[in-house]
Structure 1
């Protein structure tokens, strides 16, 4: 590794002063960063999870400043403690490191996407036991991250648990590798099978009929928000996880923040009425965190410039911490 800690990354543009840490730390005091001089000799075995930011939004089909999200989430860490009262669980026993952001090209989206894929390859090559947590960025990054994972773990069968208002199955011929096409990109590239994708959260008037027809054609599994709420979000998530666990080696969890109802997630480029409640999202990712085959999470499509009172930013941080609560219980630290 010639650069920090591998060439595709740069240190966080913003990090907290951790020179004094209380015995009951806030999240901003708990999550570690690497010093450049230590990056090449870091002992990866001490870390349970590694955070990277992917500040890309030029590939969004709607106007978006999702590129600003990684730093917005970092700044919001100060609002949270490591103790989850709902589950009587303290995350401070986990060792989590913020590795910074994937390098982006100013104008060339193809270069940006390649850097994202290569960053995942580096993560899985240099510290494969460390859980990746990805702060997006628009949803186009998911296809690149999964392709990077597949390149290293080429014998694995990868499944997708997608929490989303949209199918993200737009035609690549019309839309290219954008935030409207990541799932189709993965299916048509042969990276994942359509039947290994489970989408929960679709609703209302925000998907064209042709996308549903394509989903049915490739055998994609989906549960509308209406049906998920009828059966209960816990049942819907657990059923998807159980079915995926029987088929795949790795489950990739992708959380598009536009899955939220616009009242709970105003800071997304495509906010809609009728989506998830924030509490439903927290429960969904907590359950996913407990599943042994869920090995990576991304949180995408959050535009902090459109947010109100940091509602969506704080919800995204809570989402990450809820996932880590399940993950900590899974590995029994």
Structure 2
């Protein structure tokens, strides 16, 4: 990354400290990297993504401009941030268990945890590590072009695996499901499990804020913690070229950012992940990585608006 200018009146995001040494001290938002990539259905360099997103965060400030129409301006400067680094080798049974423990430890001391994948396999330890014993009451919202209900263990199976672990399909909402990106069998499986599906086309007719409000209401109906999976391949390929499975016609960058802010603002959301970006395949302008970094800040902006 090229050297960035320094201006004391323009403080940058990123470079967040580790969790405080005192285990009784809590923070508002903790960042953790879960660089899964070995079980991906397509070749990926997603393990390079957490470091790339951290670098990109430094390109942005923590200031949210008031728009005069929406809710009060979020003050990110009032939040306490931490970064616990990356989970080493999070793939495979041992690695996944290690990632769950790391997530659980960080989540217990944070209002919201943001996990940087890695491919979508990172969603399993990110969600289970946050939910812990609350699995029976937990909820899940995915922003994804795909159902992720495949058999086996891969980046195409996290939703199926979470439901098999005890998540109630009635409290799963999938936003952005796209044509030509799924199969008849997997869609039938989603409906049989009671999953609420919001098709990509519905987002042409409804604002993302309204869709997320409904999705989070369903996901939080059990009274437990909610995990939000922001699979960036839900976006149009023009804004997410580093996502191997992104397709033309996906959602816009501003829609994903709106979803991230809505997730951060909802009191039931305990964790969010950003997945399916291959940092080694991004364009020279890093448009996909920069979008992911902005989504981290949007989660923080939503968190700052919580009452």
With structure 2 as the length reference, what TM-score do the two structures score?
0.90
**d(CA) in 1 for partners of 2:232 and 2:21?**
36
1:131 to 2:112 alignment? yes
CA deviation vs aligned residue, 1:189-214 (integer Å, no higher than 9, x gap)? 22x11111000011120101100000
CA distance 1:97–1:21, shift in 2 (3 Å)? farther
More helix by share: 1
CA deviation vs aligned residue, 1:197-250 (integer Å, no higher than 9, x gap)? 000011120101100000011111110110122122222111112233333311
Corresponding residue of 1:117: 100
Corresponding residue of 2:203: 228
CA distance 1:32–1:40, shift in 2 (3 Å)? closer
Corresponding residue of 1:33: 17
Note the C-alpha offset of 1:162: 0.5
**d(CA) in 2 for partners of 1:72 and 1:245?**
32
1:329 to 2:302 alignment? no
Corresponding residue of 2:155: 179
CA distance 1:330–1:154, shift in 2 (3 Å)? closer
Bigger Cα displacement from structure 2, 242-251 vs 258-267: 242-251
Corresponding residue of 1:99: 84
Gap regions ≥5 residues in structure 2: 68-72
Greater RCO (Cα-Cα under 8 Å, separation 6 or more): 2
**d(CA) in 2 for partners of 1:46 and 1:161?**
25
Corresponding residue of 1:275: 250
Q: Give aligned pairs, total.
A: 299
Gap regions ≥5 residues in structure 1: 1-13
Bigger Cα displacement from structure 2, 193-202 vs 87-96: 87-96
CA distance 1:195–1:155, shift in 2 (3 Å)? closer
Note the C-alpha offset of 1:277: 0.1
1:76 to 2:76 alignment? no
Candidates 288, 293, 297, aligned match of 1:312: 288
Q: Is the 8 A contact 2:177 2:199 kept in 1?
A: yes
**d(CA) in 1 for partners of 2:224 and 2:61?**
33
Q: Is the 8 A contact 1:156 1:250 kept in 2?
A: no
Note the C-alpha offset of 1:147: 2.2
Bigger Cα displacement from structure 2, 180-189 vs 283-292: 283-292
With structure 1 as the length reference, what TM-score do the two structures score?
0.83
Partner of 2:82, secondary structure, is strand
Note the C-alpha offset of 1:322: 1.0
CA distance 1:208–1:27, shift in 2 (3 Å)? same
Note the C-alpha offset of 1:257: 0.7
Partner of 1:32, secondary structure, is coil
Q: Write the mapping of 1:1-333 to structure 2, written as runs, cut at 5 A.
A: 22-28=8-14, 31-34=15-18, 41-42=21-22, 45=25, 47-85=27-65, 88-104=73-89, 109-125=92-108, 127=109, 129-151=110-132, 153-154=133-134, 157-171=137-151, 176-190=152-166, 192-308=167-283, 309-331=285-307
Alpha carbon RMSD of aligned pairs, Å?
2.3
